[in-house]
Amino acid sequence: MKWSTSLLGLLSFIAVVVNGAENPRIIIVGAGAAGVAAASRLYQRGFRNITILEASQRIGGRIRTTPFGPGIVELGAQWCHGEVGNVVYQLASVYPGLLKSSIIADEDAVLIRSSGARVPEAVADRLQTMAEGIIESDQRDSFAGSLGDFFTQKYWQTLATPAYKDISRDLAEQFLVYYHNYERGYTAYDSWFEVAASETDSYVEPAGNQDIAWNGKKGFSAILDIVSGNYPGTTNTSLTPVPINSLVKYGKFVSNIQWKGSSDGDVIVKAQDGTTYEADNVIVTVSLGVLKENSATMFSPALPTVNQQAITGLYFGTVNKIFVLFDAPIPEDFPNTVHLLWYKSDLTALRQSPHAWAEAISTFFRIDNQPNVLMAWMNGAEGRRAEYLLNAPIRDGVLHLLKIFGKGLKFGNVTGILRSKWSSDRLFRGSYSSRSITTENLNTGARALGTPVRNAANEPVLLFAGEATNPVHYSTVHGAIDSGFREANRLIRYYS
């Protein structure tokens, strides 16, 4: 039997009031991907009394599409990772031309040594395949130490076999340092010696292309319009256009949530500017970094132990980007992706130079649709410290590296610098979540962080969403959106 759209809308409205709470007041803290997804799902199911409290002056959170040069760049989320089981791909791929394979997805990444020499492709492929096999090995599950200990041990054991007798010690050491940097950037931790080899939560990689880029002036931000039913040409009639901007109150840094609230059961939400809001339910979607910094004072009474341990135990690291605009296209002979391999003597010289911070740069990427722009990818503690430098030393450090790793190539003049500063931004305090040894020691994880807080009547008054609450798709936009839908659905079920 097929239901008409109007009847479905009526049933959604009836569902909202049937459980005795007519038009429940729902506050969503944060207008990032998770917050927009939660608000959109609720609104599209008939809930109308929704308020989104956003500390900044924009929506999107760690989706931050920004004009730069003649086009746009992504200061935050950049690629759609995978196709099967990825809600971002499922929602966006129905619009012809919106997604395309990124220029970095053609497997032409090049390893360049600090002598300027490129590692032969066949050798690089063998080393990369071997390293990925160690990372994905089932033997990790029974190893008691850190991922760094496990990888290093297996790495040197494998290299000692006859199959790798042609790999020099110098190259082996350089590749080990590079691959550590690669993993640090991939999972946003400072050191793989902080990560347990055996992890309870395991990221599930959606099948398909892992590097899908966005076309169009809105870049990755288009997903916010798609989720809210506001993308031009939307044909999905089940997605009521959500007036997101009328739901959002900007400049509202939430300082306290009294989740036991008033005597009549209200949750009381206070913003730093002195404004106060009352709600029946609150969905918190702020970053794990913000929770780590503020949770002790943000919730009254204190959160249950299960949530507190998750906030303490989950890791929240920093990956930053530097975009450099030249007045000429990037030289043709410079690869789409360049990974940096250092000789020890060259790295020592760098550390003693004014460009010491540039050790944080692990990779250079070309940018889709921006032939004059090059992106540097920065990891770890050095990358965090670089957030406090002025643009001039950042520019000089990048050019210094290009002289080393782009030896003989002529780059144009730098006409613009744009960079992310996720760690020093009090609205984020980092880039995305991962697991650490502390996570395992506390026997916690994303599910624990996403556990709803209930009042004495067993009502879910305080809910959590965001990438860090997704046990299989943490660190991603699709994980954030899934979590927003999850918590919205939790309330929809409760009120129906």
Please check whether residue 418 lies inside any domain of the structure.
Answer: no
Same domain, 142 and 272: no
Report whether 41 contacts 247 (CB < 8 A): no
Helix-helix angle 477-495:33-44, to 10 degrees: 30
Rounded CA separation 245/231 (Å): 14
Q: What is the pLDDT of residue 234?
A: 74
Tens digits of pLDDT across the chain (496 residues): 233 333 344 444 444 553 445 789 999 999 999 999 999 999 999 999 999 999 999 999 999 999 999 999 999 999 999 999 999 999 999 999 999 999 998 667 899 999 999 999 999 999 999 999 999 999 998 998 999 999 999 999 999 999 999 999 999 999 999 999 999 988 899 999 999 998 776 788 999 999 999 998 999 999 999 999 999 887 677 778 999 999 999 999 999 999 987 767 799 999 999 999 999 999 999 999 999 999 999 999 999 999 999 999 999 999 999 999 999 999 999 999 999 999 999 999 999 999 999 999 999 999 999 999 999 999 888 889 999 999 999 999 999 999 999 999 999 999 999 999 999 999 999 999 999 999 999 999 999 999 999 988 889 999 999 999 999 999 999 999 999 999 999 999 999 8
Same domain, 39 and 166: no
pTM for the structure as a whole: 0.93
From 164, 194, 224, give the residue that closes a domain: 194
Same domain, 243 and 310: yes
Token pair 């690291």 is at which residue? 317
* Residue 389: count of CB within 10 angstroms of its CB: 12
In sequence order, what DSSP letters do the residues of 186-238 get, joined into one string? HHT-S-GGGSBSS-SS---PPBS-S-EEE-STTGGGHHHHHHTT-STT---TT
> Per the structure block, which two tokens stand in for 251?
């400049």
From 194, 224, 246, give the residue that closes a domain: 194
Total tally of structural domains belonging to the chain: 2
Q: What is the pLDDT of residue 201?
A: 67
Please check whether residue 488 lies inside any domain of the structure.
Answer: yes
Same domain, 271 and 186: no
Same domain, 441 and 307: yes
Domain range for 184 = 121-194
Same domain, 249 and 299: yes
In sequence order, what DSSP letters do the residues of 299-321 get, joined into one string? EESPPPHHHHHHHHHSEEE-EEE
Q: What is the pLDDT of residue 233?
A: 80
Same domain, 175 and 230: no
Q: What is the pLDDT of residue 333?
A: 95
Please check whether residue 341 lies inside any domain of the structure.
Answer: no
Rounded CA separation 343/339 (Å): 13
Please check whether residue 200 lies inside any domain of the structure.
Answer: no
Same domain, 440 and 308: yes
Same domain, 178 and 224: no
CA atoms within 13 A on the CB side of 18: 12
Same domain, 292 and 431: yes
Same domain, 245 and 286: yes
Closest CA relative to residue 428, chosen from 337, 320, 354 = 320
Same domain, 236 and 272: yes
